[in-house]
């Protein structure tokens, strides 16, 4: 059964959790610029008795983007992490019809993630106080999950090291499940080429085009794909490509993401991409500056921890949507896909059983690097209609509505219950640690942290 204190906390604080989700949804800030979201999230925890530290994860002069909020003392130290960054071009009103807003939108539902996980630490704290449980509950607020590797800065600087274990939740289109995907190792690099400018018509022989180098590098990488395993993903965009056709570009730059199944293969892939870049520089008589921003692992799930989390999840009463919320889901689904959807089937709401088997899936998340160090268990699903694709306007609409808010509270109750169950059974943490050591035995663990 769901712990009574946790249940009571959610009854009394439903409005404030929804307000926090709504506030962060309204801010919809870009990665590494979540200044208002971070402040709102930190203030919420400060007001509820947490010892809160905020800081800028990249140590630049900008305001704070990251949070570590603690309550209690000693072991076990149970962390729960949240994210609050939004995505470009996805602004949308919180209604089931297309109604765009300028700028960013919560197309991955990170406002729900922040509010849900924050509610979890608050409710767990109340249960700890009520029963005099020993241990520390910690909220880790992380910037820039969307390509900014926010957690890598925080892991590099030791903010996760205090934890014995870590919990998380991410909204998604499926019924709620423990995360059993290994996900992909991912790297990010910026490649700059420097050439010589000249008049493209009058004096072309004196020019050395940095843009040509970029184009040849991309052609080379596209040929490289043929000789990679199926798990490899490489994508790029231009950061600079010259200004005008009549000036041979002395400077051009590319932005590269590259992914594969594990750290070892991703390091190998990086070396092969470097060769192509240097080859392009040689061909064009330009110079190449290849900067690796970061390279982080995929995720390492743990069956022992997942099973424990699933047992906690079963204690929480099911998520129930009202007819109006089901209709919101059906209307939104129809407006996105053009297909009629039965309101009873529009929204995910169930708790799925674990497979007890890990599987490879494309896509990456920066929590991967943390899962290689701290035993981590995550749940994902809910808050978004089943037919939706993530990173789309429909997700923004749903994440700004009670469909999303209710899912956040439900997921929050599960994580609070799981944290509570760990405080009641602190030796379990050793089992999680032992499984992590066993699973990573002999595997490459070299991550490249941002400078």
Task: Summarize as ranges the residues that interact with Zn ion (CB under 5 A).
Answer: 108
Q: How far is CA 191 from CA 12, 209, 258, in A?
A: 52, 14, 13
End-to-end CA distance of the chain: 47
Residues 6+ apart with CB under 8 A from 210: 192, 193, 194, 195, 242, 249, 250, 251, 252, 284, 286
Which run of H or of E encompasses 284? helix 263-284
Closer residue to Zn ion, CB minimum distance, 100 or 363: 363
Q: Which two tokens stand for residue 265?
A: 């293969």
The residue among 83 and 126 lying less far from Zn ion, judged by its C-beta, is: 83
Minimum distance of Zn ion from residue 108's CB (angstroms): 3
Query: Which one, 408 or 422, has the nearer CB to Zn ion?
Result: 408
Alpha carbon distance 315, 313 (integer Å): 5
Closest to Zn ion by CB, 207 vs 383, is 383
Shortest CB 387 distance to Zn ion, Å: 18
Q: Which helix (H) or strand (E) holds 175?
A: strand 165-178
Q: Which is nearer to Zn ion, 250 or 369 (CB)?
A: 369
Q: Least distance (Å) from Zn ion to the CB of residue 217?
A: 30
Which distant-in-sequence residues (6+ apart) come within 8 Å of 193 by Cβ? 210, 211, 213, 214, 217, 251, 252, 253, 280, 281, 284, 286, 287, 288, 289
- What share of residues in the chain are helix, strand, coil (percent, to 5)? 40, 20, 35
Mode of pairing for the β-strands spanning 77-83 and 165-178: parallel
Q: Which residues contact 221 (CB under 8 A, 6 or more apart)?
A: 234, 236, 273, 276
Residue of minimal Cβ distance to Zn ion: 108
CA atoms within 13 A on the CB side of 79: 23
Nearer to Zn ion, 147 or 354 (CB): 147
Q: How far is the CB of 170 from Zn ion (least distance, A)?
A: 6
Is the CB of 68 or the CB of 108 nearer to Zn ion? 108
Q: How far is the CB of 110 from Zn ion (least distance, A)?
A: 6
Nearer to Zn ion, 135 or 148 (CB): 148
* Residue 157 CB, nearest approach to Zn ion (Å): 22
Contact (CB, 8 A) for 232 and 269: yes
Closest CA to 175 of 403, 395, 380: 380
Minimum CB distance to Zn ion, residue 257 (Å): 15
The distance of closest approach from Cβ of residue 364 to Zn ion in the complex, given in angstroms and rounded to an integer, is 11
Q: How far is the CB of 113 from Zn ion (least distance, A)?
A: 7
Minimum distance, C-beta of residue 145 to Zn ion, in the bound complex (Å): 6
Q: Which is nearer to Zn ion, 13 or 183 (CB)?
A: 183
DSSP alpha helices (H): ranges in 132-262?
150-156, 210-224
Q: Which is nearer to Zn ion, 108 or 214 (CB)?
A: 108
């Amino acid at each position: 059964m769901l712990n009574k204190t946790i249940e009571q906390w959610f009854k009394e604080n439903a409005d404030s959790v929804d307000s926090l989700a709504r506030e962060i949804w309204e801010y919809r800030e870009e990665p590494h610029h979540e200044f208002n979201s971070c402040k709102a999230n930190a203030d919420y925890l400060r007001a509820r008795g947490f010892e809160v530290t905020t800081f800028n994860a990249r140590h630049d002069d900008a305001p704070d983007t990251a949070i570590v909020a603690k309550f209690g003392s000693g072991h076990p130290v149970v962390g729960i992490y949240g994210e609050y960054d939004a995505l470009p071009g996805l602004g949308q009103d919180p209604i089931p019809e297309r109604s765009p807003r300028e700028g960013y939108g919560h197309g991955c539902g990170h406002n729900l993630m922040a509010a849900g996980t924050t509610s979890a630490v608050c409710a767990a704290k109340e249960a700890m106080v009520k029963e005099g449980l020993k241990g520390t509950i910690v909220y880790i607020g992380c910037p820039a999950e969307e390509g900014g590797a926010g957690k890598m800065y925080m892991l590099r600087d030791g903010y996760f090291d205090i934890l014995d274990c870590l919990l998380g939740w991410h909204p998604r289109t499926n019924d709620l499940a423990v995360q059993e995907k290994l996900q992909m190792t991912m790297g990010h690099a910026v490649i700059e080429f420097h050439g010589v400018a000249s008049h493209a018509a009058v004096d072309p022989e004196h020019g050395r085009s940095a843009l040509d180098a970029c184009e040849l590098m991309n052609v080379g990488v596209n040929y490289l794909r043929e000789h990679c395993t199926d798990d490899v993903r490489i994508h790029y965009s231009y950061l600079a490509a010259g200004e005008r056709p009549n000036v041979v570009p002395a400077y051009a730059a590319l932005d590269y993401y590259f992914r594969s199944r594990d750290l070892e293969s991703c390091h190998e892939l990086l070396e092969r991409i470097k060769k192509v870049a240097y080859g392009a520089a040689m061909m064009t008589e330009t110079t190449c500056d290849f900067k690796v921003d970061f390279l982080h692992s995929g995720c390492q799930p743990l069956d022992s921890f997942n099973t424990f989390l699933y047992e906690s999840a079963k204690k929480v009463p099911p998520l129930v949507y009202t007819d109006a919320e089901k209709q919101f889901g059906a209307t939104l689904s129809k407006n996105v896909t053009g297909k009629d959807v039965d309101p009873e089937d529009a929204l995910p709401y169930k708790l799925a059983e674990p497979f007890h088997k890990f599987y490879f899936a494309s896509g990456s998340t920066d929590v991967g690097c943390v899962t290689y160090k701290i035993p981590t268990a995550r749940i994902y699903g809910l808050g978004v209609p089943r037919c939706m694709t993530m990173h789309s306007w429909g997700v923004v609409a749903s994440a700004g509505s009670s469909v999303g808010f209710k899912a956040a509270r439900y997921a929050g109750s599960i994580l609070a219950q799981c944290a509570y169950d760990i405080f009641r059974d602190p030796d379990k943490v050793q089992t999680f640690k032992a499984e992590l050591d066993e699973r990573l035995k002999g595997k490459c663990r070299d991550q490249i942290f941002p400078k």
